[in-house]
Structure 1
Amino acid sequence: MKQKIKFSSKLRYWFDKTMAAGTGALIGWLGIISLAIILAFGAIIAITGIAQEGGENLNFAEAAWETLMRTLDAGTMGGDTGWVFRGVMLLVTLAGIFVVSTLIGVLSSGIESKLDELRKGRSEVLEKDHTIIFNWSPSIFDVISELVIANESRRRPRIVVMSDKDKVEMEEEIAAKVPDLKNTKVICRHGDPTDLYDLAIVNPNASRSIVILSPEAADPDSSVVKTILALTQNPSRRDEKYRIAAEIRDPANAELAEIVGGGEAQLVLADDLISRIVVHSSRQPGLSAVYTELLDFDGSEIYTAEEPKLEGKSIAEAAMSYETSTVIGIVSPEGQVDLNPDKAHRIEKGERLILVAEDDDAITYKPFTGSIDRSLIRKAGEPRIAPERTLLLGWNRRAPMIASELSRFVAPGSVLTIVADTPDLAAKASHIRLNGDNLALDVREGDSSSRAELRALDPLSYDHVLVLGYNEDLDPQPADTRTLVTLLHLRQIAESAGRHSSVVSEMIDIRNRELAEVSKADDFVVSNKLVSLMLAQAAENEYITRIFGCLLDEDGSELYLKPATDYVEAGVEVDFYTVTISAMLQGQTAIGYRRRNGGGTWSVSINPSKSAKITFADGEQVVVLSPN
């Protein structure tokens, strides 16, 4: 039989539900109780005519007011006279003490709960035109630092960070490692970037751009792909396309990420990017500084812009139409990138120029009206193509990619010797896939940080030496420390022989680069830093990954450091217009130069003013885009 529920049980159930509704419900109940006390005792005083000794009878309004005062403040009854009146007001005061103390407790608990909720970072973000960063990794600090520089010219810029890390911890780490946020405010939220409900917290529909970092997880690419999917396929997403920059570690996952992104995501293939830059820098020491200069927002970077005044004019004319910017290519209306295009190509309507400039508002059309002293122009001889011997010390997941990339550029008969004390090195090296037959592999197990073993290898007999960190077996700091030890041994070997060895090293943490510079290696590729810079650039420039893909591909034109004497007379003052013309006559694009400083160091200048005078010395170099 169906049991009949008593009315008292229903009433108690209803009361329990209202009490469990939260702070607001509790305050409501206290308000009702207070009102009942005030009205009840006000009515009693008004009806019975109870009054203070020698005082007049109170009407209901006055009695209710007196009751209210004693409910809120127990000290009010201190001046009461007449025992009957005092007795009634004592009851009112005791009830008031109960109500007020309970109210204070409820408010305190409610405020504490709200603060806990805010500390958890679960409140909705109502910003507009903000940049969102999903996930947490060591790269996040460099990404934020670069976005802060890019935001200096914007009004009220905001960066919103969401990860599964505690909100307070995120804020403290960012404050410690990015102390100068300039005019940018960073807002942190705790959540799962792959969850549709959590995504709504950071308001992606109103965002300017979105950066998805590779998280510190067992399968980071899966998380990144799921986040892209959650953004692009969200039923409540905006109609306008997102600008997404996503970090992918394994190139095998790039195709899936592109399908999921549907043309809205620029993919930064972290390992592929670093591997290519390591290879290019190993063959041309100093080149990583050029890539860093192009990627960071401090100095000159790459932009795209339409210039109607140049429609119908040649690329050569366009190159001479900017004094403080450098034209390096064009983007077709379909989005296809062409770097170092034929100088006779006529610019069509809808084509965008690719320029190197200090800022997008620094791109100023200013046709050259001077004259060029062609007697100062020189022409390079035919490049000598010879086999190369490269020594690779150390091992990480990028080593096979570096070997594969190197095989695309070297001449026939080249050799890559790999030496590392990684377990199962031979088995891991067997998975290397080379491009063509130009490069042969020589794999040896050995301690790459041992001075005795390094001497036995005779590193000075190699054309290039590459040092990789053991960052898969060691944490970043110990891995960089071991790299530093190897570099110091190589330096001592070179100094004792009175010779120079071309050494390029991969560093993980940029803070260790200054320490490593005492080894006097020719170049350092800071992997985390470069990935961070690329992600920050991709958040601001929708063509940047395609542009750098072309820069790092053996098909087409790449960056080279070539002797300045291949272009102009050494020891004679020239302007960069002259260098620009000389490079164009050789089918190249000049974008800067590399010169010696005092103390044996080098500095790179990208996008110099073309009217500024320069005097090149022997051994100094011009940075060019060239097919070879």
Structure 2
Amino acid sequence: MSSVKFRERARYWFDNTMSKGTISLVGWLAVVSMGLVVVVAGLLMWVAPDEPEGVGGPGHVLWIALMHALSPDELAADDGSVPYMAVMLVGSLGGLFIVSMLVGLLANGFEQKVDRLRRGRSRIVETGHTVVLGWSDQVFTIVAELVKAHASESGSVVAVLADRDKLAMEEEIRERVDLGRTRLVCRTGSATEPRDLALMNLAAASAVVVLSPEGEDPDAHVFKILLALDKREGVHPPVVAAIAATRNVAAARLAGGADVHLVDSDDTASRLIVQSSRQSGMSVVCMDLLNFDGGEIYLRPAAEVAGRTYGETLHAYETATVIGLRKPSGVVLNPAMDTPVTEADEVVMIAHDDSRIVLADGTAAVDEAAIVTTEPADPEPERTLLLNWNSRAHHIIRYLDGYVAPGSVLEIATDHPQAGTGLDGLRNLTVNVKDCDTTDRYALEALAPGLFQHVIVLSDDRFTLHHADTRTLMTLLQLRDMQSAMNEHYSIVSEMHDENNRALAEVTEADDIVISDTVIGLLLAQLAENRHLADVFGFLFDSRGSEIYPRPASSYVTPGTEVSFSTVIEAARRRGETAIGYRDAAGRNIPPHYGIVLNPPKPDLVRLSERDSVIVLAED
């Protein structure tokens, strides 16, 4: 082993001190400056011991040398011998060099400090704030919904941590979201690094939302964040995370631990697409329930209605619509009408604000003469056309198989190489696959879409999100024009990624447009505010039990008759269903609610026509 020379040790030590930053560099400049002053003073005392005039010893000489080093303009006022002037010139030049370096170092250090502050590296000292980890288009939906949820509060804070520039994040969010009274705090860092997570003061946070990033294998990034959150010490706030692929949910649950609630993006979006394809307006109803704009879902202790049956509670609240019960055994929406309500239960209801939930005064006014009694028709086989293919298609087809009657047919039209694979074990659907360019008018006409009751247009995962949405718009325009030209009637539901494309897609008058990323963002925001709603939304999106159905108003009340909404609720109750609102056909294409009215006041009078629908919770 070769020995280390003194020169190498000295250089190594010097390199280490130089790497410690601005303070170390300034210290070295101070040492060099003092060395320069001592050398200049020594030379003066040697070559010009009697200059300048009135010198009072070595200390005075050191002071004169120091002043010339710090202020080179002192040289212009000197008047001495050539040796004296030469030494002072050397000292002034050396001082000029050192002062210039000092100014540069201080300016650079200050700039670095400002840049560090600008990048957001200080620890958050808020309490009760909501933390969002990661970055995707869902961040705008989540922040916007959290702002609405806390619109009546002052001092609410949303904190975002992502590996992006702090100012750029804040500017982008403010451009797309009206923050109102909510404060936005952004920090630059990696959500998988414990040191960066410590910036967010997670122990004092009310909830943490983990976003699934865009790009390949996003769930791997979510896994790392969940592991980092689980391993940190201290208080663990509730965590809500989005998982892109259903196959990764079990692993994510293991990584996150008991404090994490997972949203299966594939599963949720697939269920909503299937339900929307069969029930026009379903996606708008779900969006209304998921956002904080109008009617929201609340859980309320059942003590004030204990002793009644579920059917009796439907008329118990004047400004809220009861939709189910949360019993110790779990959530049940639209249970049997004779289900008893106990003090241990909670009532699941839709209301515009929890502070406005009041019991009805007296008995509900019901117009018996306007109630229509009809028997629900038996389900018949259906024909569905599926255009395009992506990784979510397998889920969609299997869920569709659980809804339709035996003997139903599904035609898949796409040029995707994986279309129709892995569909063994279907019970009710017969699947056929046809090669087709779904943006080509003649290819679409050859499919004869008028022979189908439902058309589903998926986003093709072979293209970028923006390009896929553009192709979906082209297909929708072709279908709508074909419907108009051939006077055909079939429902159309389409899947898109970008919320901004909804306004463009509305030109096509598509019955339902499912913005999958927006739906997941809304669901994450809801669960961040109240994790207990997870069972409620899970029940809504499940094919088992009761689901949301817009059904013809003529099956409940006499068309054209002016009735109270209490009468509509009673008509649905007698069919074993729970009415939660209605859809005005005249407003079907008018944003933002598209004719959907949820939780109308029970005493209000409505006039429902043949074309209108009553929105109910019912079993298929």
Which runs of structure 2 are paired with 1:350-499 in the superposition (5 Å)? 350-360=344-354, 362-385=355-378, 386-425=380-419, 429-436=420-427, 438-470=428-460, 472-499=461-488
Larger displacement relative to structure 2 (414-423 or 75-84): 75-84
- 1:294-333 alignment, distance < 5 Å: 294-306=289-301, 308-333=303-328
1:381, CA displacement in angstroms? Answer: 1.6
The corresponding residue for 2:567 is 578
Q: Distance in 2 between matches of 1:623 and 1:259?
A: 39
Q: Counterpart amino acid of 2:610?
A: D
Partner residue of 1:611? 603
Alpha-carbon distance in 1 for matches of 2:597, 2:347 = 21
Rounded to whole Å, the distance in 1 between the matches of 2:110 and 2:477 is 58
Q: Give, in angstroms, the shift of residue 43 of structure 1.
A: 14
Q: Are 1:144 and 2:143 matched, yes or no?
A: yes
C-alpha deviation, 1:137, in angstroms: 2.5
The counterpart of 1:257, out of the listed 252, 258, 280, is 252
May I ask how many residue pairs the two structures share in their alignment? 613
One-letter amino acid of the structure 2 residue matched with residue 141 of structure 1: F
CA distance in 2, matches of 1:37, 1:482: 74
**Offset of residue 536 of structure 1:** 1.7
Query: What letter is aligned with 2:296?
Result: E
1:200 is matched with which residue?
198
Secondary structure (helix, strand or coil) at the match of 1:152 reads coil
Give the residue type in structure 1 aligned to 2:544.
D
Amino acid corresponding to residue 403 of structure 1 in structure 2:
I
Q: Is the 2:384–2:456 contact (alpha carbons within 8 Å) kept by the matching residues of 1? A: yes
CA contact (8 A) 1:51 1:58 kept: no
User: What is the match of residue 105 of structure 1?
Assistant: 104
1:50–1:85 contact (8 Å) kept in structure 2: no
2:331 aligns with 337
Partner of 1:273: 268
CA distance in 1, matches of 2:266, 2:443: 29
Q: 2:233 aligns with which of 237, 250, 261?
A: 237
Structure 1 residues 476-485 or 587-596, which shifts more?
476-485
In structure 2, the CA distance between the partners of 1:58 and 1:342, relative to structure 1 (3 Å rule), is farther
CA distance 1:69–1:147, change in 2 (3 Å):
farther
Greater alpha carbon shift after TM alignment, 282-291 vs 445-454: 445-454
Partner of 1:19: 18
Letter of the 2:209 partner, please give it: V
- Give 1:580-595 correspondences, 5 Å limit: 580-595=569-584
Give the CA deviation at 1:39: 11
TM-score (norm 2): 0.86
CA contact (8 A) 2:143 2:177 kept: no
Q: CA deviation at 1:453?
A: 2.4
Deviates more, 1:104-113 or 1:269-278: 104-113
Counterpart secondary structure, 1:460: helix
The structure-2 alpha-carbon separation of the partners of 1:499 and 1:19, relative to structure 1 and needing over 3 Å to count, comes to closer
Residue number in structure 2 paired with 1:219: 217
Deviation at residue 281 of structure 1 after TM alignment: 0.9
Equivalent-residue separation in structure 1 for 2:57 and 2:360 (angstroms)? 94
| Counterparts of 1:68 and 1:616, CA distance in 2 | 95
Matching of residue 153 in structure 1 with residue 165 in structure 2: no
Indicate the residue corresponding to 1:566 in structure 2.
555
Residues 295 and 352, structure 2, Cα contact 8 Å, conserved in 1? yes
**d(CA) in 2 for partners of 1:366, 1:70:** 88
Determine helix, strand or coil for the equivalent of 2:483.
helix
Q: What secondary structure does 1:539 align onto?
A: helix
**CA gap 1:407/1:29 in 2 versus in 1, 3 angstroms:** same
* Counterpart amino acid of residue 566 in structure 1: S
Compared with structure 1, are the counterparts of its residues 74 and 255 closer, same or farther at alpha carbon in structure 2 (3 Å cutoff)? Answer: same
Q: Write the letter of the residue equivalent to 2:270.
A: S
Letter in 2 for 1:607: N
Q: TM-score, length-normalised on structure 1?
A: 0.85
The Cα offsets for residues 226-270 of structure 1, whole Å up to 9 and x where unpaired, read as 3222212x1x43345x32221112212222223333332222111
Structure 1 residues 254 and 34 mapped into 2: Cα distance closer, same or farther (>3 Å)?
same
Q: Are residues 370 and 455 of structure 1, via their aligned partners in 2, closer, same or farther at CA, if it must alter by over 3 Å?
A: same
Matched residues in 2 for 1:153 and 1:434: separation?
51
Contact in 1 for aligned 2:568/2:579 (Cα 8 Å): yes
1:73 deviates by 5.7
Pick which of 66-75 and 615-624 moved more. 66-75
The whole-number CA distance in structure 1 between the counterparts of 2:2 and 2:601 is: 92
Cα offset, 1:77, TM superposition? 8.2
Q: 1:569 to 1:13 in 2, by over 3 A?
A: same
In structure 2, the CA distance between the partners of 1:66 and 1:156, relative to structure 1 (3 Å rule), is: farther
Shift of 1:293: 0.6
Structure 1 position 276, deviation (Å): 0.9
Give, in whole Å, the separation in 2 of the partners of 1:473 and 1:517.
24
Which deviations, in whole Å up to 9, do the C-alpha atoms of 1:547-572 show, x marking residues without a partner? 11111212211001122233333323
Cα 1:125–1:434 change in 2 (3 A) is farther
Does the 8 Å CA contact 2:324/2:332 hold for their aligned counterparts?
yes
| Equivalent residues in 2 for 1:26-45, closer than 5 Å | 26-30=25-29
Provide the C-alpha distance between the structure 2 equivalents of 1:270 and 1:161, rounded to a whole number of angstroms: 21
Aligned-partner Cα distance in 2 for 1:70–1:179: 59
| Change in CA separation of 1:617 and 1:95 when aligned onto 2, cut-off 3 Å | same
Whether the aligned pair in 2 keeps the contact of 1:320 and 1:368 (CA below 8 Å) is: no
Could you say if the C-alpha distance between residues 341 and 164 of structure 1 is closer, same or farther in structure 2, counting changes exceeding 3 Å?
A: same
Structure 1 residues 541 and 20: CA distance shift in structure 2, 3 A: same
- Local SS of the residue matching 1:365: coil
Distance 1:250 1:70, change over 3 A: same
**CA 1:40–1:588 in 2, change beyond 3 Å: closer, same or farther?**
farther
Which of 328, 341, 350 is equivalent to 1:347?
341
Contact 2:162 2:188 in 1 (8 A): yes
Once the 2 structures are TM-superposed, how far is the Cα of residue 283 of structure 1 from its aligned partner? Answer: 0.9
Structure-2 change in CA distance of 1:77 and 1:357 (3 Å): farther
Is the Cα contact below 8 Å between 2:364 and 2:566 reproduced in 1? no
Contact 1:162–1:193 (8 Å) recurs in 2: yes
- SS of the residue 2:402 aligns to: coil
What secondary structure is seen at the aligned counterpart in 2 of 1:609? coil
Q: Deviations over 1:312-332 (max 9, x none)?
A: 444345433432222222223
Instruction: Quote how far apart the aligned CAs of 1:405 are.
Output: 0.7
Inter-partner Cα distance in structure 2 for 1:106 and 1:405: 66
Check conservation: 2:589, 2:595, Cα contact below 8 A: no
Q: Which runs of 5+ in 1 are unaligned?
A: none
Question: In the aligned structure 2, how far is the partner of 1:389 from the partner of 1:9?
Answer: 83
1:85 is displaced (CA, Å) by 12
Q: Aligned partner of 2:496: which letter? A: M
CA contact (8 A) 2:366 2:570 kept: no
Bigger Cα displacement from structure 2, 221-230 vs 91-100: 91-100
- Secondary structure of 2:584's match? strand
Corresponding residue of 2:510: 521
User: Using a 3 Å threshold, how does the CA distance of structure 1 residues 453 and 380 change in structure 2: closer, same or farther?
Assistant: farther
Among 595, 611, 621, the alignment partner of 2:613 is 621
Give, in angstroms, the shift of residue 377 of structure 1: 4.7
Separation in structure 2 between the aligned mates of residue 500 and residue 606 of structure 1, nearest angstrom: 26
**Counterpart contact for 1:279–1:405, Cα < 8 Å:** yes
